Structure 1
Amino acid sequence: MRTNRIGRLAAVLVGLEGLGLVALTVWQILAIVSGDTASIDSAIALVVLTAVGAAAVLAFAVAVWRDRSWARSGAIVTQLLILAVALGAATGAYAEPAVALAIAAPALVTLVLLILAVREAGRASRDEASA
C-alpha cells in the first residue's frame, strides 16, 4: 500500500527536519575544527549524538514515505521532543519567544499531518480487512 498525500507531505517535513539536524552536525564539527569549544570531549559527544539523531529522523522520513507505521510513531515522538525544546526556548531567564515560535510552528504542522496520516492508514487498513 502506498502512503497518501498527507503522509507524503509529513514525510517531506520530517525529512527537512532531518536535514536541519545534518546541518547542525556540520556546524558543530566546524566549531570543533575552529577551536570554538570549551570542552573537546563534550563537543565530540554532542556531534555524535546529533549525527545519530539526524540519521534516525531521516530514517523516519523515508519510512513514513513508504507507509511504515513504526516510522509515524517515531516521527510523532520527534515532534513532541521538538515542542519540548520550543517550550524551553520560550521560558526561563533567557527566554526567546520568537525563537520558540519558529521552532514550534513547523513541529505542530508536522505533528498534525502525522496524526492525520495515522488516521488514514487505519482507515485504509480497515477497508482492506473488510474487502
Structure 2
Amino acid sequence: MLAALIALELAALAVVFVVLVVDVLVLPAASLGTALALVVTDGLAVVTLGAVLVGIWRGRAWVRAVAVVFQVLIAAIGIGALQGAFAQPGWGWPLIVVGIVGFVLLISKSAKAWLSRRDEDA
C-alpha cells in the first residue's frame, strides 16, 4: 500500500514536471530564472522520490526519513492551498489527505518491519 501511494505521488510529480517544462518552452515567463529554478527543483524532487520508491521496494531503512519529509511537505502544500484570497480547496484537501495517509502508512508496524533492513554492502 505504501509503495502504491508513493508511486502515485511520483506519477503526479512527474506530470507536474512535464507541464512545467512545456510551460517554460511554450509560454513567455515573467521571470525565466524563476521558471527554470522551479523546473530544476521539481526535477530533483522527481529523481529523489523515484529513489525513495526503489528503496521502499528493496526495504531499505534510509527511505523512511525522506518519505516522511515528502509527506509533511505534501500536507503543508495542501494547507497552504486552503489559505489566502486564491484558496483552492479542490486540490488542497486531497493533498492534506494524501500527506496524512502517507505519514500514517510510514509509521505503521508493517512499514517499520519492512523498512528496517540495512544495505549489506555499506
More helix by share: 1
Range of TM-score over shorter length: 0.7 to 0.9
List alignment gaps of at least 5 residues for structure 2. 118-122
Q: Relative contact order: is structure 1 or structure 2 higher (C-alpha 8 Å, sep ≥ 6)?
A: 1
Shift in alpha-carbon separation, 1:102–1:40, aligned structure 2, 3 A: same
Deviations 1:26-81 (A, max 9, x none): 10111011124211121111111100011101111110111111101110110001
Query: Is the 8 Å Cα contact of residues 74 and 98 (structure 2) preserved in structure 1?
Result: no
Q: What is the TM-score of this pair, normalised by structure 1?
A: 0.79
Provide the C-alpha distance between the structure 1 equivalents of 2:13 and 2:38, rounded to a whole number of angstroms: 12
TM-fit CA distance, 1:118: 4.1
TM-fit CA distance, 1:89: 0.6
Query: Is the 8 Å Cα contact of residues 82 and 103 (structure 1) preserved in structure 2?
Result: yes
Larger radius of gyration: 1
Q: What is the TM-score of this pair, normalised by structure 2?
A: 0.84
Which deviates further from its counterpart, 89-98 or 41-50?
A: 89-98
> Residue 76 of structure 1 corresponds to which residue in structure 2?
68
Which deviates further from its counterpart, 69-78 or 88-97?
A: 88-97
Deviations 1:81-131 (A, max 9, x none): 111101101122222223211211122212111111444348x88xxxxxx
List alignment gaps of at least 5 residues for structure 1. 1-8, 126-131
Query: Is the 8 Å Cα contact of residues 15 and 62 (structure 1) preserved in structure 2?
Result: no
C-alpha RMSD over aligned residues: 1.9
1:15 to 7, 10, 19: 7
Q: Does 1:120 align with 2:90?
A: no
- Percent identical pairs in the alignment equals 32
